[in-house]
């Protein structure tokens, strides 16, 4: 039963091509309708009105450019801020892993019994002076 549901959900290449073609046709029809409507509207306007619309379009270009610049700058700051947040998070995670490793090794080294080397007994080799009547030094 589960295999039949998977077959129903998948689409074939032909179905995808038909879907893309339908979307393209609907989009072209909308674009043609809007273009025709604007053409008919502008065809009925007087010369002074068309000049005012052209002037408004010309003046709107710098405003639109400034608005796009501002939005682009804001988006870039957001992307960089997101990248910085992600990099900081990854860096902090790496530092935490490194700290755990260092602390683990340090704890293992501290808890292991340190072997003590067997050294021979110390021999005192400080010079000793003989009593009053004898000459020289004795080294032990």
Is the residue at 99 inside a domain? yes
Is the residue at 87 inside a domain? yes
pLDDT of residue 129: 60
- Per-residue pLDDT band for 120 (boundaries 50, 70, 90) equals confident
* Least confident piece of the model among 17-21, 87-91, 124-128, 136-140: 136-140
Is the residue at 29 inside a domain? no
User: Rounded to the nearest 5°, which phi and psi values hold at 125?
Assistant: -115, 25
User: How far apart are alpha carbons 40 and 42 in whole angstroms?
Assistant: 6
Is-contact 138 128, C-beta < 8 A?
Answer: yes
Is the residue at 33 inside a domain? no
Is the residue at 47 inside a domain? no
Which DSSP state fits 116?
P
Which DSSP state fits 117?
P
Average pLDDT over residues 100-118: 81
> Could you list the residue range(s) of the whole structural domain that residue 89 is in?
59-109
For residue 54, give the 3-state DSSP assignment: helix
pLDDT of residue 100: 92
């Amino acid at each position: 039963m589960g295999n039949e549901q998977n077959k129903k959900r998948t689409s074939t290449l032909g179905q995808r091509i038909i879907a893309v073609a339908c979307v393209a046709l609907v989009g072209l029809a909308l674009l043609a309708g809007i273009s025709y409507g604007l053409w008919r509207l502008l065809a009925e306007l007087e010369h002074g009105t068309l000049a005012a619309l052209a002037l408004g379009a010309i003046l709107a270009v710098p405003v639109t450019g400034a608005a796009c610049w501002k939005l682009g700058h804001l988006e870039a700051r957001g992307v960089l801020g997101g990248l910085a947040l992600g990099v900081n998070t990854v860096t902090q995670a790496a530092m935490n892993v490194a700290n755990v490793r260092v602390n683990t090794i340090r704890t293992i080294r501290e808890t292991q019994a340190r072997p003590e080397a067997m050294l021979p007994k110390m021999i005192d080799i400080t010079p000793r002076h003989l009593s009053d009547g004898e000459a020289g030094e004795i080294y032990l």
